[in-house]
A and B are shown apart, each in its own frame.
Chain A
Amino acid sequence: MTLWQIILAASIAVLAIKLLGYLVPPRVLEKPGAARTAELVTVALLSALIVVQTVGAGQGLVLDARLPAIGVAAGLFALRVPFILVIVAAAATAAALRALGWAA
């Protein structure tokens, strides 16, 4: 599989899901099971992605500047700071810790 094939296959799959949703009658959402499971799968995926992005390095676990950065982000989200500012603060935290040599 080439990188282009991966990109196109995934892009088409994600786009197709969006379009298919428009073919489904809205009353389907009144059945709680499907909507709820999809919501919980989204939560599980995002949570796992946070972990992988924060402590993952290939197939290894690494504690570096990303961990304090995500801590800062969590604190700011809890304080209801706007999304973009939190992202910038998290990046700045990691960048500063690395520039100071306090974290890898």
Chain B
Amino acid sequence: MVDVPFNETAARKEALKASVAVGLAVAAYGVSFGALAVASGLTVWQACVLSLVMFSGGSQFALIGVIAAGGVAAGPAAIAGATLLGLRNGLYAIRVSPIVGPGFAKRVVAGHLTIDESTAVATAQAVPSAQRVGFWATGIIIYVGWNLMTLVGALLGNLLGDVSAFGLDAAAAAAFLGLVWPRLQSLQPVAVAVGAAVVAVVLIPLVPPGVPVLGAALVGVVAGLAAARRGRP
């Protein structure tokens, strides 16, 4: 942040602006999730339940990707993949918990809205009141938009049939790239990303759908434990 607004009202307004920008962009791309979900064999309602209850784009795309490749037989791998990818939300929850503050009902709702974007916008704000605005505004805008657009996308997907003609399969890959891109700021995550990609390519022909992603996750576990053992910050 180059110029941090010292005026709290201005800071809250800035947070709201950031929320709207991020929120609308992410919500818009719920269309591709809905369309891909029905293309993967889900019903419109199943796509909507994922967006309503799971509400975590990465995990949702991971789940339907495995189902598309391996069908219901790949269910355990699909659940494991979505769950592992959702672990980061638990970390976000720990981070934004002080921003949300006390109150049981409030914390349950906040928990549901704890995702990459709401955490990112909240923690980017300098003052506590702006952090709260950033968290809630981003979370609510994305929740409403993502669910509406999932429904629209699922209905469209039913109409369109072959979503690959519209490049939606490539959109899913690009979305994962967008999620990992800001995390590649130092050598270690880059090395882990490359290692995981190699493991995934090798495993795809060898093991059932969904399992390559789980195997590649081990690269992250091993690298994390190795770094902790060396005691590097």
* B window 35-80: CB within 8 A of A: 41-42, 46, 49-50, 53-56, 58-59, 61-63, 65, 67, 69-70, 72, 75-76, 78-79
Question: Could you tell me if A4 and B173 are in contact, using CB atoms closer than 8 angstroms?
Answer: no
Main secondary structure of the interface of A (DSSP, over half): helix
A-B contact count (CB 8 A): 327
Question: Is the beta-carbon distance between A6 and B107 smaller than 8 angstroms?
Answer: no
Minimum C-beta distance from B128 to chain A (A): 14
Best-buried of A2, A28, A43, A48 by chain B (most CB within 10 Å): A48
Contact: B197 with A48, CB < 8 Å?
Answer: yes
Q: How far in angstroms is the closest Cβ of chain A from B122? A: 14
Contact flag A10-B82 (CB < 8 Å), given A18-B90, A45-B62: yes
Contact with B along A68-104 (1 / 0, CB 8 A): 0110011001000011101111111111101100000
CB–CB A47/B180 < 8 A: yes
- Please give the number of chain B residues whose Cβ is less than 8 angstroms from any Cβ of chain A in the complex: 103
CB pair A21–B75 under 8 Å, yes or no, is no
Please, how many residues of chain A have a CB less than 8 angstroms from a CB on the other chain?
Answer: 78
The reply to whether A65 and B170 form a contact with Cβ atoms under 8 Å apart is yes
Instruction: Kindly list chain B residues whose C-beta atoms are within 8 Å of the C-beta of A91.
Output: 32, 166-168, 170-171, 174
**A44 to B46, Cβ gap below 8 A?**
no
Separation in Å of the B119 CB from the closest CB of chain A? 10
Closest to A20 in B: B90
Residues on A with C-beta less than 8 A from B97 are 21-22, 24, 26
Residues of A within 8 A of B (CB): 1-15, 17-22, 24-26, 28-29, 32-33, 35-61, 65-66, 69-70, 73-74, 77, 82-84, 86-96, 98-99
Selected A-B contacts with CB under 8 Å, 16 pairs: A3-B42, A15-B53, A17-B86, A18-B56, A24-B90, A24-B94, A38-B87, A38-B88, A38-B224, A40-B220, A41-B221, A44-B192, A47-B196, A53-B65, A70-B173, A95-B165
Name 14 extra pairs, CB < 8 A, besides A59-B205, A70-B170, A99-B165. A11-B49, A13-B82, A14-B83, A18-B92, A19-B108, A22-B111, A35-B91, A40-B192, A42-B220, A51-B212, A55-B201, A70-B177, A83-B26, A86-B174
